[in-house]
Amino acid sequence: MAVNTIDAKMLAKMFLAGAKNLESRKEWINELNVFPVPDGDTGTNMTLTIMSAAKDVAAMEANNDLDMQSLAKAISSGSLRGARGNSGVILSQLFRGFTKTIRESETIDIPLLAQAFERAVETAYKAVMKPKEGTILTVAKGASLKARELADAGETDLEKYIGAIIEHADYVLSQTPEMLPVLKQAGVVDSGGQGLMQVLKGAYEAFLGKEVDFKLEDGRGAAGAPFSSIGAQPQAEADIKFGYCTEFIIMLNRTFNIKQEMDFKAYLESIGDSIVVVADEDVVKVHVHTNDPGLAIQKALKYGALSNMKIDNMRLEHHEKVIRMSQQAEGTQAAGPAAGESAAQSASEPDARKESGFIAVSVGEGMNAILKDLGVDYIIEGGQTMNPSTEDVLNAIDQVNADTIYVLPNNKNIILAANQARYMTEDKKIVVVPTKTIAQGITAVINFSADLSAEENEAAMTEAIGAVKTGEVTYAVRDTMIDDYEIRQGDFMGIGDDGILAVGQAVESVALSMIDRMMEEDLELISIYYGQETKEEEAEALREKVEEKYPACDVELQYGGQPIYYYIVSVE
């Protein structure tokens, strides 16, 4: 018998199965990175993004607290907070558009599903300033077009419908190398598109009734961030950490936006675990395990009156379902700090609010020190190997007490997440300067003037970074062909703003060749930042050779301490 609707319970299972399928294949997706550098992180970014929502969905499912509206909210807000990297931000926007369409319905049929696909794609394309075809966006659009075509043709069987969409989207993915020559030359399909396909395929398997183990291994991804455990263990295997299961509904009498929701959740996490916060326009459903329910209640009263209050002593009752949730959330609490957290480097809250402040993404003790010396208030640890999330940027914004805050992503894969944080901030003016490298970030800070307005500074800094060329020397992790260079595993590569500039067997010769390719007649300054794997005497030898070859230029050498990259070089 044909199935023609999806309810909230089924959608939750499909979402969790999609998350699990993506997580299980994240390293494979990472390896699809076009450049064969040791920082391919698309699979990790997409996994961390979806896991941010999956832990809330799993908790709701375990508590049998599922309806379409609360589920849609959990998927949208969770992925929005956890979004990392361009692929993760785009995935979160796909979920955002999809859930906006289905949240008011009790069940999803084929016409509604087609609308949801269309709105997902529309929302994701709007989030990207210059959408590029041959990417995850193209795969999503292909799925959407097929969904509309089949819906208009009168298809009523969801199994056939979803299967045909996935088959077509797979075909679109296979064509991405024909749309982007760089993919074709590297012999790979788009990694973000492949990540999206794994989410869709996992969801489809759950729809077909395949039993999926939703438990995720308690481990760390390439970004060094924990993965939340969705699985549940019998409570008999562990003591109950927080004894009171506390539930209530807040009848809102003040604004409760995404930012305030995140702050409220952060407070609950400081006093308990197994937290579920689902906000609607007028009410907020709250669930938390804590040893002091009064603290949760007092905090909630700041947002409105409380109703439907329920407090159970879990140590006495040992109800099986509540026990599963407690153990599940306890696994999350045991995990280490997330990528992007940098408590040791965060600036303390200033005594008085100031006009302007700076946040920069950086990695390496030398780079961090340079930025701090230039006046950056808060350093978010991250970059190529560990893209900070939208929530990491929001947390940093909270720590800087300034009317206007300039955010320097210093990586093209972090700009979207920074912009997403900007849209979610209401009490401060956030200016995201689109710096793609730390060298550009340094130039941006140097060109800031306290005498100019925020708009004037943004224009001045953006113009200044446009004059900076950056090159980075690293090593290849696999054989490939790109930019007409035949690259072997273990080769050293000099990568510029627009592609490979040099390949060779020795770090110094590759660095010199890269700099040669970067130079133009009117350039005056060459800045060399050497990494943690480079000896000072080696860096000094490189500087001397560069000075000898370009006597008209000032050549500066500084310790960056960055991992993976032996040298980062800027010319301007």
At 317 the pLDDT is 53
Residue 455 has pLDDT above 50, yes or no: yes
Residue 238 has pLDDT above 60, yes or no: no
Residue 236 has pLDDT above 70, yes or no: no
CA torsion angle for 11, 15, 17, 23 (degrees, to 10)? Answer: 180
Q: Mean of the per-residue pLDDT values for the chain?
A: 84
Query: Which contacts qualify for 170-175: CB closer than 8 Å, 24 or more apart?
Result: 170/197, 171/142, 172/138, 172/139, 172/141, 172/142, 172/143, 173/139, 173/142, 173/197
User: What are the tens digits of pLDDT across the range 105-123?
Assistant: 999 999 999 999 999 999 9
Least confident window among 31-45, 258-272, 312-326: 312-326
Q: State how far the Cα of 29 lies from the Cα of 39, in Å rounded to an integer.
A: 12
Residue 474 has pLDDT above 60, yes or no: yes
* Percent helix / strand / coil, the chain, rounded to 5: 50, 20, 35
User: What are the tens digits of pLDDT across the range 357-380?
Assistant: 999 999 889 999 999 999 999 999
At 219 the pLDDT is 31
179 in helix, strand or coil?
helix
DSSP state, 308?
A: E
Phi, psi of 251, rounded to the nearest 5 degrees:
-90, 100
pTM for this predicted structure: 0.71
Confidence category of residue 334, pLDDT binned at 50, 70, 90: very low
Residue 223 has pLDDT above 50, yes or no: no
User: What are the tens digits of pLDDT across the range 342-355?
Assistant: 433 444 444 478 99
**Of 77 and 112, the one with more pLDDT:** 112
Q: Which of 200, 220, 226 is nearest to 52 (CA)?
A: 226
At 298 the pLDDT is 86
Residue 239 has pLDDT above 80, yes or no: no
Q: State how far the Cα of 134 lies from the Cα of 194, in Å rounded to an integer.
A: 11
> What do you get for the CA distance between the two ends of the chain, in Å?
68
User: What are the tens digits of pLDDT across the range 422-443?
Assistant: 988 888 999 999 999 999 999 9
Are 180 and 134 in contact by the 8 Å Cβ rule? The answer is yes
Q: State how far the Cα of 248 lies from the Cα of 268, in Å rounded to an integer.
A: 13
Percentage of the chain exceeding pLDDT 90:
55
